[in-house]
Amino acid sequence: MRRVIFLLALTLTFIACSNSYENADQSASFEGGETYGWNASEKSMEEYDETEDESYKDQEEQRQIPDQVEGEPEIGLKIIKEGDVSLQVKDYGKTRGELDLLIKTNKGYLASENEAKSKYNITNTLVIRLPAKNFDGFLSALSGMDGKLIHKNIEARDVTRQYVDIQSRLKTKKQVRDKYESFLKNAKNVEELLAVEEKVRLLTEEIEAKEAELRYLSDKVKYSTLRLSLNQPLEYSIDAPEYTGPSFLERWGQSFKDGWQGILTLIIGLTSIWPLILIAILIFVLLRRMIIKANNPKVSSSNNKTSKED
């Protein structure tokens, strides 16, 4: 009996040990799988973060790379600044002196000036050319002068594209002209020589025109233009009484003068046509004699007899 109980207990113990061993293996395998899976996830996330960082850095580098063509000189912005300003001042002479000093300080010059004075006001319209870098500073100093701002209009035009286009066309035309000039050395006859010279002449004219246009734009970009109008109102009063028209005596005296002037004008006119008057008098006399003879035939016949007897 004891031996049976001992065998049963030994069998149960063996079964229990077997189950605990399997559970331990399963938990070990499960825990190992969880650890492997988590490590794999962490690794993939780190790789993703590194890839994303590298992509972001590449994008940032691409943004920082300027849009520039290799082999071409860098061309900055070409801005033409122009402005119109109107000021009403209290003392024109003082303001004019301050303005001359301000123009000189900002290294500008006076392109034109139109000053006028009447009993109502003093006006002056000035065209001022200033270096582009000093244009804004000049406007700030101008606003601080003694006067009232009436009108202000500032315009900035970007001509970079036009400037670059002219430069490109100019470069192309010069290259074509150089090729034609190289053809001059290989001309076989006079006709070919004259034809190539004509092409070179036309291209030279076009190049000079483009260079002039480029110089004009460069001058406009380098020096800004400001049209400034100054106005000082003047005090005035009307002391004379209101005019109601000429009086009766004034009108009568004026009529007498007009009549006398009319007589003088008539005399002068008749004097200028005296030949016609003389001819008219002679015609009148002849016609009168002819009429008298026609009305008195007896007188004319007796006159004829008397002349025969004599």
CA 255 to chain centre: 60
Q: What is the dihedral of CA 54, 55, 60, 64, to 10 degrees?
A: 100
3-state secondary structure of 225: strand
Rg (CA), the chain: 57
Q: How far is CA 44 from CA 32, 51, 162, in A?
A: 18, 10, 54
Backbone angles phi, psi at 240, to 5 degrees: -70, 145
Strand (E) or helix (H) holding 218? helix 190-222
Amino acid identity, position 106: N
Q: Where are the domains of the chain?
A: 79-233
- To 5 degrees, how large is the angle CA 109–CA 145–CA 222? 30
User: What is the CB neighbour count within 10 angstroms for residue 65?
Assistant: 7
- Tens digit of pLDDT per residue, the chain (310 long)? 455 454 454 455 445 444 444 444 444 333 343 333 333 333 333 443 444 444 434 433 433 333 443 444 566 889 999 999 999 999 999 999 999 999 999 999 999 999 999 888 999 999 999 999 999 999 999 888 888 899 999 999 999 999 999 999 999 999 999 988 888 888 788 888 888 889 999 999 999 999 999 999 999 999 999 999 999 999 876 655 555 667 777 887 788 788 888 888 888 887 888 888 888 888 988 888 888 888 876 545 555 555 555 5
Q: Say if CB 229 and CB 83 are below 8 A apart.
A: no
Q: Report the DSSP beta bridge partners of residue 155.
A: 82
pTM summary value: 0.49
How many CA atoms lie within 13 Å of 167's alpha carbon, on the beta-carbon side? 13
Distance CA(55)–CA(50), nearest Å, equals 9
Return the residue matching tokens 């050395």: 185
Q: Which residues pair with 164 in a beta bridge?
A: none
Residue 208, burial from CB neighbour count under 10 angstroms (0-12, 13-18, 19+):
exposed
Residue count of the chain, please give it: 310
